Chain A
Amino acid sequence: MAVRRLTIKNIISRVRQAFPQASETYLINLINDALLEAGMYRTKVEYAKATTVADQMWYDLSDTGSSVDINKVFRVDFMDSAGDYIKVPRLIDNEILKMDVT
């Protein structure tokens, strides 16, 4: 059975049933706003790898600083001595004694 999907052209043509004068660029911008909002509701799961630096505590997750668009991190794995990625726990109390600035 074929999968039912809508192209951007399909979406724009349906919108233009009510708004025939709407410009294509403006409609695409609105669709992009909708996609951004949809991203808040856990629509897409991704993963990324990062390289650790000795004695560096902090790693950048910002959308501009890193090369990926991260909304929420839900799991972190660390490579063990066998080269496998092992899930490491999230520390709830992050007020640790020694805090680095880098």
Chain B
Amino acid sequence: MASNHSHPESDIAWFIVGDKLALVTTKGTDSSSVHSKSGDWKGIDEAVTNGILIHYYAEPNALSTTASTRLTVYPDLDNSMHASLIEYVKAKLYIDKAGTSNDPNVAATAMNMSMVHEKKWQDSMVKFGSRRRDKIGGTRVVKTFDLR
């Protein structure tokens, strides 16, 4: 079912507060009341089935710890990031080793190793992450404004 808004880009807007999405409209009547006056922001005025399409950055799907196929699946990440997961896991395991070892030399070495792997993880995700994930290539075209 379509909505009654012929130009939603002109009279509908959205904003987010916390984990709530607000959908507001300026569509209204010629009443002077702020509750219904045209031009004042107010809640969306009609029920539309599947009326909102939200584009968002999502979390990768978590792995099951019990499914029989858990070892043969691929992580829900771009394949260029798969090897980075090893760095994260090793960083945490070396911290565990440092915390549980009775030998201060072993603990210090494990701590250093943890920092090495933590840095590799941070570099792959933050420093070079956008370069790995970026799918954009080729020439660019500047799209000019339509001044009609």
Contacts and interface: CB of A to CB of B under 8 A. Distances in A.
A32 B63 contact: yes
Contacts, number: 284
Contacts of A87: 9
B52 A6 contact: no
The dominant DSSP class at the B interface is: mixed
B63 A49 contact: no
A74 B56 CA distance: 6
A41 B60 contact: no
A14 to B, nearest CB: 5
A82 B51 CA distance: 12
Contacts of A69: 58-59
Contacts of B71: 7-9, 12, 24
Interface of B: 2-9, 12-17, 19-24, 34-35, 40-63, 65, 70-79, 81-86, 88-90, 92-93, 97, 121, 125-126, 129-130, 133
